[in-house]
Amino acid sequence: MALTVRNNMAALNSIKTLNRTQNKLTGSLAKISSGLRVNSASDDAAGLSVATRQTSDNTSLKQAMRNANDGISLIQTAEGGLNEVYNILVRMRELAVQGSNQTYNSGDRSEISKEFTTLANEIKRIASVANFNRTKVLNSSTTGFALQVGIHKNADNKILLNLASVAATWGSLGISSISSDGITTLAQSVTAINIIDTALKSVNSSRSTLGAFQNRLESTLNEASNYSQNLANSSSQILDVDYATESANMTRYQIMQQAGVAALGQAKAIPQSIISLLS
């Protein structure tokens, strides 16, 4: 290589190589300090795109899981109300059986009927006030109830519950006549037994419906939890830095930087060597 004074090509090449090494060392330090292999699109554009999408999906999925949990809470609210309605109906049937005994006179049946109608009114009240976040859960006025349990907008990502099918109003239970009239006569008491038996079957059916729906939501939650974990693992594999590999890279770049600085020092001494030749 020719010895020149005006352009020190060795020094220029050393500076260029040193700058490249410095950029790699800076990138390596950024990865180690942040814990991320991909800190910008320049590190891995495709990987960043995939990981960003997965992170977005996982965030939405966690909200969908909270939605499913809200659905379970709604079901538990409705089931709690139905359980109380069932207990009241059992007591009303007991009173109807008592009133069906001919040993009681009209005055006795009147007293029995007072408790009977009071209990019937409590069923009416429960059906009216039982709610989850102001949504009536035992009133037939509430029909379709959609739970968004997925991250997309299509029908497969929703679960529908017809709350009207689990209503506990007088009408839905078929106890309107005996609830308003009471059991002041022997005939009314006998009739009430059959009507209440039907109502008890209706409540049991509603509880079974809610139980099946809750089991479905719990299965949905389990599947969503597994999917969320898989998304997090996949995103981690793309974004997270391998500290063993990156530490080795950092050490290599540091050595290259030190060597580059030494080489630059030697290159800068070349013009001085030319002067020595001329003297």
Same domain for 99 and 193, yes or no, is yes
Q: Is residue 47 assigned to a domain?
A: no
With tokens 């063993």, the residue in question is: 244
CATH of the domain at 128: 1.20.1330.10
Domain span including residue 227: 60-238
The tokens of 129 are what?
């006030």
- Per-residue pLDDT of the chain (279 residues), as tens digits, is 555 555 667 767 777 877 887 777 777 777 777 777 777 777 778 888 888 899 899 999 999 999 999 999 999 999 999 999 999 999 999 999 999 999 999 999 999 999 999 999 999 999 999 999 888 899 877 777 789 998 988 888 999 888 888 999 999 999 998 988 899 999 999 999 999 999 999 999 999 999 999 999 999 999 999 999 999 888 888 877 767 776 787 778 778 778 777 777 776 666 666 566 555
Same domain for 23 and 111, yes or no, is no
Same domain for 164 and 258, yes or no, is no
Helix (H) / strand (E) element for 209: namely helix 186-239
Same domain for 173 and 266, yes or no, is no
Same domain for 234 and 247, yes or no, is no
User: How far is it, in rounded angstroms, from Cα 147 to Cα 73?
Assistant: 12
In terms of Cβ atoms closer than 10 Å to its own Cβ (0-12, 13-18, 19+), residue 212 is exposed
Same domain for 127 and 178, yes or no, is yes
Same domain for 190 and 252, yes or no, is no
Same domain for 166 and 221, yes or no, is yes
User: How far is it, in rounded angstroms, from Cα 17 to Cα 11?
Assistant: 10
